[in-house]
Structure 1
Amino acid sequence: MLLVAAFAAVPLAAVANAQSFAELEARLEAHPSLSALGYDAEADRERAVASTALPDPVVSLGINNFPIFDPSFDSYLPTNKAVGIRQQFPSFAGREARAGEARAMSAQTEAVRDARYAALRAELIALLADKTRLTRQRSLAEARNAKYDELVDIVEAEIDAGRPAVYRLAEIESERAEVSRTLVDLDRQEAETDARLIELVGLVPSTGLPPLTERDWSGAALEFHTVRIADAAVRVTDYGIDEARAAWKPEWGAQLTYQQRDEGAMFAGDDWVSGMVTFTVPLWAERKQAPNLRAAKAERAGAEQRYQAAARNAAAQYASRDAIIRAADASIDVLQVKIAAVEDEVEAQLIAYESGVGGYAPIIDGEIAILKLRAEIEAETARKAAAIARLNALLVTQ
């Protein structure tokens, strides 16, 4: 039943009403992957609390020195009924280290969750940019189709007038086939985008893009999410070293036993009490504690190297996405210059046509070229928006 309900909800989500971007962010906060990380962080916090607690005491009940061949509690002096309690006291330093490690792991998971949310938010913005691009490119493609209809009428009129323009008809049909393929591909892209939006926020919104401004990076490595995660991992290994060092410290224990004796014919039935204190001695430290400490130090060294690698990778990603933004801006400028040039040419052709020189087909060709260029601008605009969103997602906002 749950499976059927889940599939039944998908078509409904595809026709959802417009929502504000803040509402989409609230939906994104409830994404299962983020909820799972929240539970993981909570689990580590609870483990931190449990790590400082003492182990459960051990209660013992027994009979001591009970005779087999003449069973009784009053015929043999050492015979007694005993109740005892034993409590172990693991090293406080070790317990604190394990608690600190669990808290550090919780902080690391929170850092992972923040990075995951930032990445999902960037993906949401990129998908919204794609939705805008697809709508505008479809409109431009349909406008091209209409222009080809006009062009066919003009070329057929030229053929009827005896001008050699038959070859142009074949070219037009080829170009119209390209537009048809473009429309089919746009439908495919829209279906993929809608599916990804449903996966992210549970519906297909008709929401516009939020304001996008590229965030500047100061040069500090800890401004990156991935570096914060790696730094939190270093903190985890610090507590691992503390725990390994604490293993040299003794683990104490205390035991108390009350022994109840019955009075016999030849002896009084005085009760006995026994007490004992235990502690561990790191006798095999060279084979146990020392290797564990070396392992903990090696893990910390590895975490430090991963920190350095994360810092380099994040800086490279920032530079790469910044380059994409710059390239998209430059491409848009070039395309706009081309559009302006074609518009000037179309205007000149129109003046010549109105003065009785030349035909109208070059004017339509120019208008079709402008539509193609505008479609390319839409692609670059969406690419720039996605790059800005993904660049911003690299940086910690708070």
Structure 2
Amino acid sequence: MSSYCLSRPVRLFLWCLIAGITLAGGAPARAQAVPLSLDEAVALATGQSARVKATEAQADAARQMAVAAGQRPDPVLKLGINNLPVDGPDRWSLTRDFMTMRSVGLMQELTRADKRRARAARAAGEADAAAVAQRQVTAELQRDAALAWLERSFQQSMRELLVTQRIEAELQLQAAEAAYRGGKGMQADVLAARTEVETMHDRIAQVDRMLAVSTIQLGRWIGDAAARPVAARPAFAPPPWAEGDLAMHLTGHPQIAGATQQVALAQAEASIARAERQADWSVELMYSQRGPAYSNMVSLNLSVPLQWDQKQRQDRELAARQSQVNRAAAELDDLLRAHEAEVRALLQEWQSEAGRLRRHDEKLLPLARQRVEAALSAYRAGSGSLTAVLEARRTEIDTRMERLRIEMEISRRWAQLEFLDLAVPTAASPARHQIADAPRSRP
């Protein structure tokens, strides 16, 4: 059974667990020899990313702020000396003048419950938005790491294919040289075979360059582990939601969920603005001590802001917040349409490339192989030329290389769809199966 029958979080957890056991066992040399699978590369990239750690910290900070936002303001402690004489016989005395008081008081703003609920809802929305941002960063990181791994894998496959063809070309050169020395061949055939060998060396050098670049790009995500050989590619099965209601599943996309949270935040801001139309009262209790010859005093004060121009201030702010809700809702709708079109285009491209892959497997590759065999038979029978054989081999190589490029395009579409991180209902998630359109092993 393919490991892709498991959910991606389970696969990543298993790979992180395996990596931890390997490190704890102190076997770095053996770990270097183990082929690097796609799941392991994605798990390593997720575990090593500073961006993921930063978004985790941001989400935790937002959750902490959500708790604080629903609380009342702190009370205010007041200490003071009132009516202290600065001249005359009682100057600077705290006890002789009957008006001099040493005061201590507490003031508390009585924030309305609906305001505190609205502010708590806004902070909770910010925490949810931070969690969605963390999901988005993780999904983008995993997608980019998967694309880098796939690029490395296909470059490695292309090199293996070209090396195999180079060996065949070298054998063909040896046969041509032997025939020429025996007087049964022409020098032109030897030169043609030698040219073919050098051409294969040049193509391998080009692939080596791209393989080195792809290794560096993979190392951007997983560090030194990029130097390990890559394991076999997984089956590129369509995502489980491809046949369902795409618009419904897209609501789980991190960017769509983030835009949805922006709508919720705008609504929370509007609720706060609506609550601000009712002013908050403040209460102050003060105890004042005078000289021993006079009585002490207690003061109780209430205060409230006077909203003189509510139509031009509070009502305007509420209208602005409601307009921001409309803006966020319109942006959400536009983003949903854009993502739906993008995903449908990816699925259409996948189907088109899958059709080309079938054509190569069923028609073009067998025809190219038959052409090589026919040219070889004619050359051995003396009725054909070595040039025809070499040309037929080049056609077969080009056909196989094109097939690899087609499979590479399919794998890229697969990675872009696989790591969208859509919220798919568990009961509706079918198991993934290997499909003929994207074979598991390298050609």
TM-score under structure 2 length normalisation: 0.77
Q: 2:254 maps to what in 1?
A: 225
Bigger shift: residues 226-235 or 64-73: 64-73
Q: How does 1:351-362 map to 2 (within 5 A)?
A: 351-362=377-388
Superposed CA deviations along residues 93-145 of structure 1, whole A, max 9, x for unmatched, are 22322221121122122222223322322323322222221112112222333
Indicate whether 1:209 and 2:228 are aligned: no
* Partner secondary structure for residue 273 of structure 1: strand
Cross-structure match for 1:283: 308
Tell whether the 8 Å contact from 2:129 to 2:261 is kept in structure 1 after alignment. Answer: yes
Instruction: Note the C-alpha offset of 1:384.
Output: 0.7
| 1:314 paired residue number | 339
**Residue 274 of structure 1: aligned partner:** 299
C-alpha change, 1:162 and 1:26, in structure 2 (3 Å) is: closer
- Do structure 1's residue 236 and structure 2's residue 253 form an aligned pair? no
After superposition, give the CA deviation of every residue in 1:137-182 in whole Å (9 maximum; x if it has no partner). Answer: 112222333344345556667878698874x777667665654443
2:153 is aligned with 1:132: yes
Query: Relative to 1, partners in 2 of residues 1:15 and 1:195: Cα closer, same or farther, differing over 3 Å?
Result: farther
What's the counterpart of residue 108 of structure 1? Answer: 129
State how far apart, in whole Å, the 1-side matches of 2:378 and 2:198 are: 31
- 1:261 pairs, out of 267, 270, 290, with 290
- The 5-angstrom pairing of residues 163-174 of structure 1 reads 166=188
Moved more, 353-362 or 296-305: 353-362
Is residue 375–residue 389 contact of structure 2 (8 Å, CA) maintained in 1?
yes
Matched, 1:391 2:417: yes
Give, in angstroms, the shift of residue 342 of structure 1.
Answer: 2.2
Note the residue ranges of structure 1 that are not aligned, 5 or more in a row: 1-11
- Aligned partner of 2:43 among 17, 20, 26: 26
Report the AA paired with residue 195 of structure 1: I
Are 1:47 and 2:65 an aligned pair? yes
Q: Which runs of no fewer than 5 residues in structure 2 stay unpaired?
A: 1-28, 425-443
Counterpart residue number, 1:6: none
Structure 1 residue 362, shift from structure 2 partner:
2.9
Deviations 1:63-114 (A, max 9, x none): 2222231223443322222111111223332232222112112212222222
Letter in 2 for 1:118: A
Q: Measured at CA, do residues 367 and 346 of structure 1 come closer, stay the same or move farther in structure 2, by a change above 3 Å?
A: same
* Residue 392 of structure 2 is aligned to residue 366 of structure 1: yes
| AA of the residue aligned to 1:376 | E
CA distance in 2, matches of 1:42, 1:232: 17
Compute the TM-score of the two structures, normalised by the length of structure 1. 0.84
Q: 1:16 to 1:326 in 2, by over 3 A?
A: same
Determine the structure 1 residue equivalent to 2:109: 88
Distance across 2 between alignment mates of 1:306 and 1:177: 57
Q: 1:197 aligns with which of 218, 222, 227?
A: 218
Q: Is the 8 A contact 1:51 1:98 kept in 2?
A: yes
The structural deviation recorded for 1:290 is 2.1
For residues 259 and 281 of structure 1, what CA distance do their matches in structure 2 show?
A: 28
In 1, distance between residues paired with 2:377 and 2:206? 38
Distance across 2 between alignment mates of 1:123 and 1:178: 33
Which residue pairs with 2:434 in the alignment?
none
- Would you say the 8 A contact 2:132–2:258 is kept in 1? yes
Q: Is the 8 A contact 2:102 2:288 kept in 1?
A: yes
Structure 1 pair 249–208 and aligned structure 2 pair: CA distance change class (3 A): farther
Is 1:340 aligned to residue 366 of structure 2? Answer: yes
2:441 matched residue in structure 1: none
Q: Which amino acid aligns with 1:127?
A: A
Paired AA for residue 43 in structure 1: A
In 1, distance between residues paired with 2:212 and 2:377? 44
Q: How many residues align?
A: 381
Distance in 2 between residues matched to 1:345 and 1:185, nearest whole Å: 27
Query: Is structure 2 residue 322 aligned with structure 1 residue 297?
Result: yes
CA offsets per residue over residues 370-394 of structure 1, 9 Å max, x none?
A: 2221122112112211211212223
Residues 51 and 95 of structure 1 are in contact (CA less than 8 Å); yes or no, is this contact kept in structure 2?
Answer: yes
SS at match of 2:419: helix
Cα 1:114/1:379, change in 2 over 3 Å: same
How far off is 1:284 after superposition?
2.7
CA contact (8 A) 2:357 2:406 kept: yes
> What corresponds to 1:61 in structure 2?
79
Pair 1:165–1:302, CA change in 2 (3 A): farther
